[in-house]
């Protein structure tokens, strides 16, 4: 055995090249810093038709092709092959044969693609592209292929509860809507837009993954009319549960509007916005004291603030009947408060009555979406990591879905 040099056979073994393929030559170009490996097949080899499986087809002609493979040492390595096109008697045509090391239409070997997918698990795509010295458009093409394939395998048959929320790719434009499984926390579906049709798209997606829309009994969302009408139309058995954080956000906004009206007459209220917004337990000692003294004054803001605190209590009421009595009283109080922002928010809550009370029965929130949103925000900050909304969506799937990739090892 030759222990001083690596023979072609050894390289062939290492590359995993099998019959009828053989390495014909290896070239290292120090100037261009690349390895080129030339593969061939013995004269007279017959191939199997990739379309119908007929064996021993004659070669019609060949086409030169090149694939980027895993590096040898630190050098980019390329496989070169004249790929046969066969004459198939069965298919009555000329067909290019499949090669075992790459998928059709790809100019990378399966092992190279596998490495890229593994790298993208925790690296920005632009960094991966840089690392392997490829154009990132070509890297995105690989990612797209494998994500699409992995998504096809997702099984939605056991889904009964989902959360939905919208987010924008960049501030103020290009909205996307994310649907997630409330139970597992994984993203199920992402699409462009934020109107009711996004729910229709999710419905279709659910069906194509063995899901059953009539098995969906709970859907959590904010009070956007688009989601409400979409869920009502497509998921007839679903109870809509309005996210309590969104509801509290509206009430907080109303309290702040009251404060702004109030502060025109009372300068003490200036710069106190956060004191009224925060939960009392989150205030510093100084803020707590200030809040206490402000609350002793005859301020509209202090009244509005008390209304907010009272609604906060509502969420912890254990049974629906008691909760509804409580909410009714709260509603009456606000609508008779003569504080316009509070009257308006009370009316909004009246309009969404059942979905708000449903929280008491199901106790679910969109907290999951907040978690997902923070991952999405991180993706947004790395905006250079993707080029368009489609890639942005791929990234969300990559980071937030439960995908199993079919990767060669």
- List 10, 18, 29, 90, residue binding Zn ion (CB under 5 A): 90
Q: Which residues contact 167 (CB under 8 A, 6 or more apart)?
A: 175, 176, 178, 373, 376
Q: In terms of CB distance, is 48 or 266 closer to Zn ion?
A: 48
Strands 173-181 and 161-170: antiparallel
The reply on whether position 184 binds Zn ion by CB under 5 A is: no
Q: In terms of CB distance, is 8 or 94 closer to Zn ion?
A: 94
| Distance of alpha carbon 109 from alpha carbon 100, whole angstroms | 9
Tokens in use for 144?
Answer: 């797209």
| Distance of alpha carbon 370 from alpha carbon 372, whole angstroms | 5
Cα Rg of the chain (Å, integer): 31
The reply on whether position 88 binds Zn ion by CB under 5 A is: yes
Minimum CB separation of residue 95 from Zn ion in Å reads: 6
Minimum CB separation of residue 49 from Zn ion in Å reads: 3
Stretch that binds Zn ion, among 88-96, 273-281, 330-338, 373-381 (CB under 5 A): 88-96
Q: Which of residues 35-64 bind Zn ion (CB under 5 A)?
A: 49, 51-52, 54
Q: How far apart are the first and last CA of the chain?
A: 28
The 3-42 site mask, x for binding Zn ion (CB under 5 A), equals ----------------------------------------
Q: In terms of CB distance, is 23 or 88 closer to Zn ion?
A: 88
What torsion do the CA atoms of 366, 368, 370, 373 make, to the nearest 10 degrees?
Answer: -120
DSSP output for 283-345: S-HHHHHHHHHHHHS--HHHHHHHHHHHHHHHTT-SSHHHHHHHHHHHHHHHHTS--HHHHHH
| Distance of alpha carbon 141 from alpha carbon 130, whole angstroms | 15
Minimum CB separation of residue 88 from Zn ion in Å reads: 3
Minimum CB separation of residue 104 from Zn ion in Å reads: 15
Q: In terms of CB distance, is 90 or 284 closer to Zn ion?
A: 90
Residue nearest to Zn ion (CB): 49
Query: How many residues touch Zn ion (CB under 5 A)?
Result: 7
Q: Which of residues 91-110 bind Zn ion (CB under 5 A)?
A: 91
Q: In terms of CB distance, is 49 or 226 closer to Zn ion?
A: 49
Q: How far is CA 313 from the centre of its chain?
A: 34
Q: In terms of CB distance, is 6 or 52 closer to Zn ion?
A: 52
Tokens in use for 234?
Answer: 């497509």
The residue ranges that bind Zn ion (CB under 5 A) are 49, 51-52, 54, 88, 90-91
């Amino acid at each position: 055995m030759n222990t001083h040099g690596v023979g072609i056979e050894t390289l062939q073994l290492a590359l995993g090249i099998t019959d009828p393929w053989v390495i014909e030559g290896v070239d290292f170009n120090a100037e261009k810093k690349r390895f080129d490996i030339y593969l061939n097949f013995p004269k007279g080899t017959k191939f199997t038709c990739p379309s119908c499986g007929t064996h021993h087809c004659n070669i019609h002609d060949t086409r030169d092709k090149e694939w980027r493979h895993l590096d040898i040492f630190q050098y980019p390595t390329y496989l070169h092959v004249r790929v046969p096109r066969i004459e198939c008697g069965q298919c009555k045509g000329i067909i290019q044969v499949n090669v075992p090391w790459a998928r059709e239409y790809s100019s990378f070997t399966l092992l190279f693609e596998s490495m890229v997918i593994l790298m993208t698990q925790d690296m920005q795509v632009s960094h991966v592209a840089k690392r392997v010295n490829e154009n990132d458009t070509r890297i995105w093409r690989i990612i797209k292929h494998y994500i699409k394939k992995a998504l096809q395998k997702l099984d939605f048959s056991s889904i009964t509860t989902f959360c939905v929320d919208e987010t924008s790719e960049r501030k103020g434009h290009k909205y996307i809507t994310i649907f997630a499984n409330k139970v597992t926390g994984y993203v199920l579906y992402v699409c462009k837009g934020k109107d009711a049709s996004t729910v229709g798209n999710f419905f279709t997606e659910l069906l194509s993954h063995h899901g059953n829309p009539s098995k969906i009994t709970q859907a959590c969302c904010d009070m956007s009319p688009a989601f409400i009408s979409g869920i009502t139309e497509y998921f007839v058995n679903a109870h809509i549960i309005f996210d309590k954080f969104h509801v509290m956000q509206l009430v907080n906004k109303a309290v702040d509007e009251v404060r702004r009206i109030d502060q025109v007459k009372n300068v003490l209220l200036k710069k106190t916005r956060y004191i009224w917004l925060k939960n009392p337990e989150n205030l510093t000692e100084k803020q707590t004291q200030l809040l206490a003294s402000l609350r002793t004054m005859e301020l509209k803001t202090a009244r509005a603030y008390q209304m907010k605190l009272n609604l906060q209590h509502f969420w912890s009421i254990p049974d629906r009947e008691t909760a509804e009595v409580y909410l009714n009283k709260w509603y009456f109080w606000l609508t008779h408060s003569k504080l316009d922002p509070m009257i308006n928010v009370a009316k909004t809550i009246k309009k969404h009555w059942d979905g708000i009370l449903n929280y008491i029965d199901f106790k679910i929130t969109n907290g999951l979406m907040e978690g997902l949103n923070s991952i999405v925000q991180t993706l947004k900050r790395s905006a250079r990591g993707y080029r368009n909304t489609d890639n942005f969506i791929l990234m969300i799937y990559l980071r937030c879905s439960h995908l199993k990739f079919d990767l060669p090892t």
